[in-house]
Structure 1
Amino acid sequence: MENIVATSAALGAVVGLILALTGAGGAILAVPLLLFVLHLNVAEAAPVALLAVGLSAAVGAMLGLRAGVVRYRAALLMAVSGTLVSPVGLWFAHRLPNGPLTLLFAAVLAFVAWRMFRQAAGGRALQAAEAVQFAQPCQLDNQTGRFVWTALCTRALALSGAGAGFLSGLLGVGGGFVIVPALKKVTNAPLHTIVATSLSVITLVSASGVITTAIAGRMDWQVGVPFAAGAMLAMLGGRLLASRLSGARLQQGFAVVAGLIAIGMVAKVVMAG
């Protein structure tokens, strides 16, 4: 049991560190790490990952709230729509066979890796081109610093939250890799506001998934508690390092690791079959 606790805490620390350094994305590595190292299946690993992701994101969200950079109305809207859809993802997660579910996770992970590497390699020019390509329905008021709410803005944020909620329930990911790009496309908010708001949404959506799983008796607390503790501690330590390291290089490094893990997950399914 001691080995399981120590290993779980170490794996959680990896996830928390990546989440702190990249602002999003560390969560999606939680499930593969639990699959490869502790040999859980996706349905078992997803709730554990969600617990760690939710708690470590809560740390970042509270720091963002204290700094006044969280757009809490937008976060609440996205979280409510995500919470409503999350049980649908959970329902599918416990009815799909492990093989197809693992392949689906690998496909999502590969897409995230490709997108993150492309954005990091393209730099500001690519991000500016993407921002121009799509109209931004949610605009910040220059005087209040808050969003000017319109029907189009409300719909865009709600749909983004619903997508994150479904993936949260299905794959045990926080959804930051959905929320951050979505906020970049539909708002003109600065990056630090987007990341802080994303962490707030992840916290609330993850909480709903964890509570649902715990009530159903499907949470492995022996693995989940040390995993979550390691993630939270590393999240705090990682924030101190984040300002000293190159964001683009970090994203590229994460993308390469994520891509290799996606390939490994596919290979595992093929070999098991």
Structure 2
Amino acid sequence: MMEVLAGYCGAFIIGLTLGLMGSGGSILTVPLLVYLFCLDPVIATAYSLFVVGTTSAVGAIKNHLDGNLAFKTGLLIAIPSFIAVYATRRYIVTRLPEQITFEDFTITRHVFIMVLFALVMIVAAASMLFRKIDDSEAAKSSRNIMIMLPYVIFTGIIMGLVGAGGGFLIIPMLVYFGGLGMKKAVGTSLFIITLNSLTGFVGDVQHIIIDWPFLLSFTTISVFGIFAGTYLHKYITGQQLKKGFGIFVLSMAAFILVKELMH
């Protein structure tokens, strides 16, 4: 009972983080679903795509109304990205064997997905802790789609495999290559995450059974969180939040690696 209560509190935090930072919620979703609700990682990554996609859609609409969404730039990045997400969920994840062998080393599909997820978390944490992004970078950036394309496809594949990680990869891309300031990058990131996540989820609906009552209740709480995050964004600086959340994400990644590799 306590695990379930903690899980629903976590759903609120997912939305809260998305509202504050335009990313980060998906980093929490998969561990919550796996460790507190005891879902299989493949199911958890599918549910994560729906939760994060729906919650991000609410945030994207809010940012659009505030004038902080670059629609054309978002579509330019989102289209190749969500094709990669859909293809990954539809044709790669469904074909992952129960036992995966690397030379003489064998791990289960469960461990492979969770370890890969932890590695994405470490990259995300490093991005928050050590990478400084400001509006001055936008002036130097290029909008050349051919330069962005490999990065966009890579982001889509990562999102498809682990159901998370898109926002922390997308925001730097929008600033460095898309020519956007931070506020518009955050709003546009939510728009891209929405398209990527929900497209990836469509690829899952065809081959897994969805517990809709649970998924919709979890998502509803997350949506309330994004409204709270949007409100609190006025009072908390992005740098403060990035540092604290980066440490938290790094700690969670270490916990997952220890739990999966040492048991």
TM-score, length-normalised on structure 1?
A: 0.83
2:125 is aligned to: 113
1:77 is aligned to: 76
Task: Provide the secondary structure at the position in 2 that maps to 1:189.
Answer: coil
| Among candidates 147, 153, 157, match of residue 166 of structure 1 | 157
In 1, Cα distance between equivalents of 2:163 and 2:209: 13
Kept in 2, the 8 Å contact 1:5–1:222? The answer is no
1:224 is aligned to: 215
Task: Provide the secondary structure at the position in 2 that maps to 1:93.
Answer: helix
Alignment of 1:92-111 (within 5 A): 92-94=92-94, 95=96, 97-111=109-123
* Cα shift at 1:194: 0.8
In 1, Cα distance between equivalents of 2:133 and 2:181: 16
Number of residues of Structure 1 aligned to a counterpart in Structure 2: 250
Off by >6 Å, runs of 4+ in structure 1: 2-5
Alignment of 1:1-273 (within 5 A): 8-90=7-89, 91-94=91-94, 95=96, 97-119=109-131, 131=137, 136-138=141-143, 153-173=144-164, 175-272=166-263
Kept in 2, the 8 Å contact 1:174–1:205? The answer is no
Gaps of 5+ in 1: 139-152
Kept in 2, the 8 Å contact 1:21–1:239? The answer is yes
In 1, Cα distance between equivalents of 2:145 and 2:133: 29
Gaps of 5+ in 2: 98-108
In 2, Cα distance between equivalents of 1:187 and 1:261: 31
2:105 is aligned to: none
Kept in 1, the 8 Å contact 2:121–2:250? The answer is yes
**1:150-184 alpha-carbon deviations (Å, 9 max, x no partner):** xxx22244444322321221111161111101112
Distance verdict in 2 for CA 1:55–1:4, change over 3 Å: farther
Kept in 2, the 8 Å contact 1:17–1:234? The answer is yes
In 2, Cα distance between equivalents of 1:19 and 1:188: 22
TM-score, length-normalised on structure 2?
A: 0.86
Distance verdict in 2 for CA 1:6–1:215, change over 3 Å: farther
Kept in 2, the 8 Å contact 1:17–1:231? The answer is yes
**1:185-225 alpha-carbon deviations (Å, 9 max, x no partner):** 11332111111111111111111112221222343324321
Task: Provide the secondary structure at the position in 1 that maps to 2:228.
Answer: helix
1:150 is aligned to: none
CA RMSD across the alignment: 2.4
Distance verdict in 2 for CA 1:123–1:207, change over 3 Å: closer
Kept in 1, the 8 Å contact 2:82–2:156? The answer is yes
Distance verdict in 2 for CA 1:20–1:88, change over 3 Å: same
Amino acid at match of 1:115: S
Amino acid at match of 1:252: K
**1:118-173 alpha-carbon deviations (Å, 9 max, x no partner):** 13xx576xx86xx49x96212xxxxxxxxxxxxxx222444443223212211111
In 1, Cα distance between equivalents of 2:57 and 2:152: 17
